């Protein structure tokens, strides 16, 4: 249900391939005789997308521009159905376009690749041969002279080179707190966890006494030496869990200071707060200062200007609200003055990039269900959009006199583009998935506006099947967005993929209902404390309007969604008045009171519901809990597929159990798809393909037969 905008974007946009790759590949010693997972050389039997084809796309990301601006370094993750895992390889490409060169071909995969300061070498993370997790490696630009240069006992998770090239920072998990076996060493085989406070598990892991800390180290004769824990002894983490990455940590241009993001709270305080801060660690003195002290919401993604006179970062104003507007703050380091440069910009920047003269910043922001590259001039404060169109840019970087960005749409996975900084003209560079896309007939995406019950114009995506015939009638799917504050933009997903839904001959109706991001903060705010109110009316308005089209079979319509979308499906199941013939809910909230008491980030439900379920005199909270889907379960009369992951600690799997059990006790046809080892998402190939097959089998049974 909870889906913080920036954190989620970071996972899928910048760091997603890195983290997904690590989770999917063993970090122990790799056997080189095992098959290497690489680019799929597919000859398709049909021009219609299937689950197997979807999982054959290369997942490109983490583009790094060389110091001279002439070459791009990036990674691509490939997935194997047979091996049920992924592998990630590194590639280079001229920034002006041209021949792609694969520079690694290994079993274990390479992650977080960066350039050396002079551009002569590449540093990256890979599995150590001795089995102590991921370590730092270096190699030449052609992949030769590959060497392991670090040997940290706990393994390494992120790296960033100092501007002077003499130091490197990295993150790794360090033991800080005692666990059962430390407290009772005479019980080494005791299998238990012992806690004195909440926040004892997060996303998909139980707290185990380890915390991600920032380290700085010297590079001596090509080796990582003299590592120092910047956060020594602190029971806090950087980057932030669960989705934070290297974008939350940075060097000053003089290589003397490390700025990092941290939420220095524990237990109950941690679970109830969004108050992270930007901390500055001085390498010479060893002192740490809280640079954003007194700013109550999320403060993160610090980025020094090239001349070292300014520090930019992203900040949310309201404590406890993870979907607040992300403000672009910049501080003058000489005067100490801090200013919100996005005060008159009603959208949330991310993926910032200073210009070389330190006078402007490029960034990406979600604007009206798309994500576009923008530029802010610090002298005038003027913000201008560089790109436009039906697409989502995920990142922006500077390469000489042009910009480099990664872009997706609902009908195309991520590729690298060169962008003219003045005109916004785009040129595709990477073509990673052209060999597959050229064999497919893709759907058509239309944008339309639907009038809501309170008189608003709601942007709604309508995705039409390949080879669409307006004279035919198609079953339709109402897609219920998650979050509840997340963008329903031109995203490309490997599970909730509109192209594969439409390719199975369904018309997809995806409304930007109240609460979604990119429509301005007022629109976003209107779902808080009203989860089952206007947002649900918006969903029904969208399907009621679009189903009037002559090509939609209004007798065969389903509703699907995950997280808050699952909440929406459960709620609709009790309030739809025969509109739908099938439902699918993935990892949704069924009983809001129980979810409040079993989730981990308590600040989320405290904000969204307006308080705790035991606050009987709190009228706002009581109204929120009265709208919980379980309050209407007695009205369920329509087949429902329930999907949940066993390692989903955000919305525990017992929510799915409760919904499924209730359906069957009411003699409603239901199916329960449970993944013991998956979390809020489904990340492994065979589980992902099973998910797609079960999804379409259920819809086909009830909407086509």
The full DSSP string for 136-172 is: EEEEETTS-S-EE----TT---EEEE-TTSSEEEEEE
Tell me, yes or no, whether 430 and 457 share the same domain.
no
Question: To 10 degrees, what angle do helices 16-24 and 5-12 make?
Answer: 70
pLDDT of residue 33: 58
How many domains would you assign to the chain? 2
Tell me, yes or no, whether 541 and 417 share the same domain.
no
pLDDT at 11 over 60: no
- Domain boundary pick from 407, 436, 465: 436
pLDDT of residue 705: 79
Token representation of residue 601: 């980030």
Tell me, yes or no, whether 348 and 236 share the same domain.
yes
Tell me, yes or no, whether 285 and 197 share the same domain.
yes
Query: Of the listed 576, 644, 680, 702, which one is catalytic?
Result: 680
Q: Minimal CA–CA distance to 21: which of 79, 83, 64?
A: 79
Tell me, yes or no, whether 364 and 500 share the same domain.
no
Task: Name every residue whose Cβ is closer than 8 Å to that of residue 294 and which is 6 or more positions away in sequence.
Answer: none
- 489 in catalytic set: no
| CATH number of domain containing 526 | 3.40.50.1820
Q: Minimal CA–CA distance to 67: which of 101, 124, 117?
A: 117
What tens digit of pLDDT does each residue of 113-154 get? 999 999 999 999 999 988 889 999 999 999 999 999 999 999
Tell the residue number behind the tokens 């102590």, with chain if given.
132
Q: Minimal CA–CA distance to 78: which of 92, 59, 62?
A: 59
For the residues 5-27, what does the mean pLDDT come to? 36
pLDDT at 447 over 80: yes
DSSP code per residue over 197-249: SS--EETTEE--SEEEEEEEEEEETTEEEEEEETTTT-S--SS-TTT--GGGE
Cα–Cα dist 493/675, whole Å: 19
What tens digit of pLDDT does each residue of 649-698 get? 999 999 999 999 999 999 999 999 999 999 999 999 999 999 999 999 99
Q: Which residues of 652-684 are buried (b: 16+ CB within 10 A; e: fewer)?
A: bbebbebbbebbeeeebebbbbebeebbbbbbb
Q: How far is CA 698 from the centre of its chain?
A: 27
Report strand pairing: 371-377 vs 383-385: antiparallel
Mean pLDDT taken over the chain: 95
DSSP state for residue 35 in the 8-state scheme: P
Burial label, 395 (beta-carbon count in 10 A; 0-12, 13-18, 19+): buried
For the residues 268-283, what does the mean pLDDT come to? 98
Task: Assess contact for 308 and 298: CB atoms under 8 A.
Answer: no
pLDDT at 243 over 50: yes
Tell me, yes or no, whether 395 and 457 share the same domain.
no
pLDDT of residue 40: 85
pLDDT of residue 2: 44
pLDDT at 3 over 60: no
Question: What is the percent of the chain with per-residue pLDDT over 90, rounded to a whole number?
Answer: 94
Tell me, yes or no, whether 432 and 445 share the same domain.
no
What's the sign of the alpha-carbon dihedral 319, 323, 329, 333? positive
Task: Assess contact for 465 and 484: CB atoms under 8 A.
Answer: no
pLDDT of residue 488: 98
When comparing pLDDT for 21 and 498, which is higher? 498
When comparing pLDDT for 11 and 455, which is higher? 455
Tell me, yes or no, whether 323 and 376 share the same domain.
yes
pLDDT of residue 21: 33
- 680 in catalytic set: yes
For the residues 384-409, what does the mean pLDDT come to? 98
pLDDT at 443 over 60: yes
- Domain boundary pick from 378, 403, 436: 436
pLDDT at 353 over 70: yes
Tell me, yes or no, whether 577 and 696 share the same domain.
yes
Query: Of the listed 563, 568, 592, 624, which one is catalytic?
Result: 563
What tens digit of pLDDT does each residue of 78-106 get? 999 999 999 999 999 999 999 999 999 99
pLDDT of residue 27: 36
Beta bridge pairs of residue 562:
586
What tens digit of pLDDT does each residue of 536-577 get? 999 999 999 999 999 999 999 999 999 999 999 999 999 999
pLDDT at 180 over 50: yes
Tell me, yes or no, whether 407 and 287 share the same domain.
yes
Tell me, yes or no, whether 493 and 380 share the same domain.
no
- 324 in catalytic set: no
For the residues 33-53, what does the mean pLDDT come to? 91
- 624 SS3 class: helix
pLDDT at 15 over 50: no
Q: Minimal CA–CA distance to 516: which of 559, 464, 564?
A: 564
Judge if the upstream peptide bond of residue 559 is cis by omega within 30 degrees of 0.
Answer: no
pTM metric for this prediction: 0.95
pLDDT at 4 over 60: no
Tell me, yes or no, whether 603 and 518 share the same domain.
yes
- Could you list the residue range(s) of the whole structural domain that residue 652 is in? 441-703
Query: Of the listed 351, 395, 648, 662, which one is catalytic?
Result: 648
- Domain boundary pick from 398, 417, 436: 436
| CATH number of domain containing 409 | 2.120.10.30
């Amino acid at each position: 249900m909870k889906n913080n905008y920036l954190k989620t974007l970071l996972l899928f946009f910048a760091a997603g391939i890195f983290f997904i790759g690590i989770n999917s590949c063993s970090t122990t010693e790799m056997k080189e005789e095992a098959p290497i997972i690489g680019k799929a050389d597919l000859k398709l039997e049909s021009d219609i997308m299937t689950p197997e084809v979807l999982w054959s796309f290369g997942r490109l990301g983490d583009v790094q521009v060389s110091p001279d601006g002439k070459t791009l370094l990036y990674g691509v993750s490939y997935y194997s159905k047979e091996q049920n895992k992924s592998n990630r390889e590194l590639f280079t490409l001229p920034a002006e376009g041209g021949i792609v060169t694969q520079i690694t071909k290994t079993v274990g995969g390479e992650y977080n690749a960066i350039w050396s300061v002079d551009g002569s070498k590449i540093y990256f993370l890979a599995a150590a041969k001795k089995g102590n997790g991921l370590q730092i490696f270096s190699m030449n630009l052609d992949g030769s002279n590959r060497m392991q240069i670090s040997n940290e006992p706990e393994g390494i998770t992120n790296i960033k080179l100092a501007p002077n090239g003499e130091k490197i920072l990295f993150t790794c998990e360090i033991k800080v707190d005692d666990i059962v076996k430390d407290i009772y060493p005479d019980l080494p085989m005791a299998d238990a966890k012992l806690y004195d406070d909440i926040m004892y598990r997060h996303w998909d892991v139980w707290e185990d006494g380890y915390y991600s800390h920032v380290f700085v180290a010297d590079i001596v004769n090509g080796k990582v030496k003299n590592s120092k824990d910047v956060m020594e002894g602190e029971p806090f983490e950087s980057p932030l869990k669960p989705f934070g990455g290297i974008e939350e940590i940075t060097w000053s241009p003089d290589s003397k200071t490390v700025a990092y993001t941290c939420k220095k709270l524990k237990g109950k305080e941690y679970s109830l707060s969004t108050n992270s801060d930007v901390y500055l660690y001085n390498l010479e003195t060893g002192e740490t200062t809280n640079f954003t002290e007194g700013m109550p919401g999320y403060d993160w993604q610090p980025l020094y200007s090239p001349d070292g006179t300014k520090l930019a970062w992203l900040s949310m104003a309201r404590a406890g609200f993870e979907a607040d507007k992300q403000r672009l703050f910049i501080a003058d380091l000489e005067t100490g003055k801090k200013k919100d440069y996005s005060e008159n910009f009603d959208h949330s920047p991310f993926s910032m990039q200073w210009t070389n003269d330190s006078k402007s910043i490029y960034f990406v922001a979600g604007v009206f269900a798309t994500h576009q590259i923008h530029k802010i001039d610090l002298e005038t404060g003027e913000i201008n959009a560089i790109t436009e169109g039906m697409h989502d840019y995920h990142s922006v970087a500077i390469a000489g006199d042009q910009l480099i960005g990664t872009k997706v749409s609902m009908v195309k996975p991520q590729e690298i583009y060169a962008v003219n900084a003045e005109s916004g003209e785009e040129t595709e560079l990477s073509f990673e998935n052209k060999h597959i896309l050229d064999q497919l007939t893709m759907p058509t995406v239309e944008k339309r506006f639907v009038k809501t019950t309170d008189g608003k114009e709601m942007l709604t995506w309508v995705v039409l099947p390949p080879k669409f015939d307006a004279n035919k009638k198609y079953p339709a799917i109402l897609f219920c967005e998650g979050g509840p504050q997340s963008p329903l933009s031109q995203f490309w997903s490997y599970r909730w993929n509109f192209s594969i839904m439409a390719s199975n001959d369904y018309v997809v109706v995806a409304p930007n209902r109240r609460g979604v991001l990119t429509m301005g903060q007022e629109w976003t705010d209107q779902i808080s404390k009203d989860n089952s109110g206007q947002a649900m009316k918006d969903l029904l308005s969208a399907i009621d309007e679009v189903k009037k089209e002559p090509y939609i079979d209004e007798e065969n319509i389903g509703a699907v969604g995950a997280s808050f979308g699952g909440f929406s499906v459960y709620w609709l199941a009790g309030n739809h008045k025969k509109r739908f013939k099938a439902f699918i809910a993935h990892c949704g909230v069924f009983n809001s009171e129980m979810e409040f008491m079993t989730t981990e980030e308590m600040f989320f439900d405290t904000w969204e519901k307006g308080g705790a379920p035991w606050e009987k005199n709190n009228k706002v909270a009581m109204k929120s809990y009265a709208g919980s889907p379980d309050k209407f379960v007695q009205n369920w009369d329509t087949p429902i597929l329930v999907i949940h992951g066993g390692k989903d600690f955000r919305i525990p799997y017992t929510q799915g159990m409760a919904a499924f059990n209730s359906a069957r006790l009411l003699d409603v046809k239901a199916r329960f798809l449970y993944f013991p080892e998956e979390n809020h998402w489904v990340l492994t190939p065979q589980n992902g393909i099973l998910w797609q097959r079960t999804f379409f089998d259920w819809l086909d049974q009830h909407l086509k037969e």
